[in-house]
Structure 1
Amino acid sequence: MKASKYNDGSNSLLHKCEDGDSQWILRYIIHEHRREMGLGVLDALRKVS
């Protein structure tokens, strides 16, 4: 499986890794620089909600 990123329409991305794992990434801008912060693995977030 090829690694890819899917935008949810706001500032969140779903990053699909080559090994099949998925993680959420928050994209934001501070002082005119784009940053990305990992929010965790998709399976772990499913257990929380």
Structure 2
Amino acid sequence: VIGQQYGVWVERASATILATTVLSVVSVTVLLYVIKAGLLPADLFP
């Protein structure tokens, strides 16, 4: 929104938001799979 007001880095900001959203979805999915498979304990700090 701020980038649109000033006309700066609109494409780069949009691409960054998309990339970080995709990365977070992938990382959470992998983390949940690893916990469910038993490779990582669900309680890291007992």
TM-score (norm 1): 0.22
Which of the pair is proportionally richer in helix? Answer: 2
> So what's the TM-score if we normalise by structure 2?
0.22
Larger radius of gyration: 2
Question: Between Structure 1 and Structure 2, which shows a larger proportion of strand residues?
Answer: 1
